[in-house]
């Protein structure tokens, strides 16, 4: 089997997997980028994803409507975002600690609800793969890019949309201003608290959607701690991507592609130990982070609560 490693079929397989695997990272990391650009580090992403994943799963299980499930996941994410904003913006609590608290709250809540309402692992009919007309028929390219489920397309469309929002709209400029120099923004009449509430809630809604994409598009089931720390990798991707949607896209694709690559290498019986194989994505991420830190400038007011007249 070793001689035909990296045939066209394998490369297609790796890239298709990579696109699919990147989906929840993209939703969660782009969402986190909104929050961080406004100056709030939300470490609760993983917890929000778990609650969102459960909500989407449960609603889909009960109603059979994946769209309704995704909508409820967004709303639940929004509520978690309100909680995070209230703690970190209104009460000005230390962001790292309150984020971890939110994570544990989400982990506990989703596990508890799962036990009370479902009890055992069950599957749902999630989002089906949709082949895009014409584009989906192109050989190789079609299979890699245009035969996925709706949430996968949505995650990739989110990247240019987020870029446009942050760079080209007044709201985007306000978010950046509040994250760079809240005092100056405040003096110009921008409500720092309002902008941060908005950014954190928008990011959390996307985290909820990231959870939904996991439980109703990628794996079509829910179990306790389904995300397994995926949300924390999403936070790391924000740093990796230099707080830019395009950078996040590159990071998510790199991480997913290496992951897909190591899965395929194992299946094909390549001569590498599975222990080394599963380390690859993480090693590469660390290496890339080391090289990336030099060029990265984080939002100046990141992690700093804003108190009028303090600076």
Partner 1 sequence: MKKQNVWLVVFSALAALALLLSACSPAAAPQAESKTVRVAVIMPSSTTDMAFSQSMYSALIAVQKEMGGEAAMEIKYSENMFKVPDAAAAIRDYASQGFDIVIAHGSQYGASVEEVAKDFPETTFAWGTDVNTFGLPNVYAYTAAAQEGGYVNGVIAAQLTQSKQIGVTGPVEVGDAKTYIDGFVQGVASVDPAIQVNKTWTGSFSDVALMTEAAKTHIAAGADVLTGSSQSVVGSIGAAKENGAVLWFGTQADQASLAPDLVVASQVYDWTAMVKEIIASRAAGTLGGKTYILQLSNGGLKIAFNGSYNLPAEVKAAAEAAIDGIKGGAIVVEP
Binding site for partner 1 (CB under 8 A): 1, 10, 13, 16-17, 20-21, 24, 87, 91-93, 97-98, 101-102, 104-105, 107-109, 111-112, 115, 119-123, 125-126, 128-129, 214, 218-221, 223-226, 228, 230, 259-260, 263-264, 266-269, 274-275, 277-279
* Closest to partner 1 by CB, 78 or 175: 78
* Closest to partner 1 by CB, 115 or 131: 115
The sign one gets for the Cα dihedral 223, 143, 152, 65 is: negative
What's the closest the beta carbon of residue 213 comes to partner 1, in angstroms? 10
What's the closest the beta carbon of residue 296 comes to partner 1, in angstroms? 27
* Closest to partner 1 by CB, 128 or 295: 128
Residue 248 in tokens: 């996040």
What's the closest the beta carbon of residue 200 comes to partner 1, in angstroms? 15
Full DSSP string of 260-274: HHHHHHHHTT-SS-H
* Chain centre to alpha carbon of residue 308: 32
* Closest to partner 1 by CB, 204 or 259: 259
* Closest to partner 1 by CB, 18 or 202: 18
Residue 151 in tokens: 């949430």
Residue 237 in tokens: 């991707």
Residue 170: Cβ-neighbour burial (10 angstroms; 0-12, 13-18, 19+): exposed
Q: How far separated are the first and last CA of the chain, in Å rounded?
A: 65
| Measured distance CA(48)–CA(259) in Å, rounded | 24
What's the closest the beta carbon of residue 221 comes to partner 1, in angstroms? 6
């Amino acid at each position: 089997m070793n001689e035909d490693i990296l045939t066209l079929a394998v490369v297609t397989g790796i890239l298709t997997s990579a696109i699919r695997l990147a989906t929840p990272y993209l939703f969660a990391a782009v969402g986190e980028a909104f929050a961080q650009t406004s100056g709030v580090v939300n470490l609760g992403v993983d917890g929000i994803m778990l609650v969102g994943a459960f909500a989407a799963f449960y609603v889909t299980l009960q109603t059979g409507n994946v769209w309704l499930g995704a909508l409820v996941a967004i709303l639940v994410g929004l509520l978690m975002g309100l909680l995070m904003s209230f703690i970190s913006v209104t009460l000005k609590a230390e962001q790292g600690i309150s984020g971890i608290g939110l994570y544990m709250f989400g982990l506990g809540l989703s596990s508890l609800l799962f036990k009370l309402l479902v009890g055992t692992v069950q599957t749902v009919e999630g989002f089906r793969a949709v082949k895009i007309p014409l584009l989906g028929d192109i050989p190789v390219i079609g299979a890699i890019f245009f035969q996925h489920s709706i949430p996968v397309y949505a995650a990739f469309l989110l990247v240019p949309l987020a870029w446009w929002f942050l760079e080209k709209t007044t709201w985007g400029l306000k978010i950046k201003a509040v994250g760079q120099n809240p005092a100056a923004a405040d003096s110009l009449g921008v409500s720092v608290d309002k902008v941060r509430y908005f950014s954190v809630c928008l990011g959390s809604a996307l985290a909820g959607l990231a959870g939904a994409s996991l439980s109703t598009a990628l794996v079509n089931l829910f179990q306790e701690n389904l995300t397994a720390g995926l949300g924390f990798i999403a936070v790391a991707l924000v740093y990796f991507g230099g707080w830019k949607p395009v950078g996040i896209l590159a990071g998510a694709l790199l991480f997913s592609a290496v992951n897909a690559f190591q899965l395929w290498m194992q299946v094909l019986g390549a001569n590498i130990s599975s222990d080394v194989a599963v380390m690859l994505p993480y090693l590469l991420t660390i290496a890339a982070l080391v090289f990336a830190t030099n060029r990265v400038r984080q939002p100046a007011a990141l992690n700093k609560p804003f108190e009028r007249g303090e600076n």
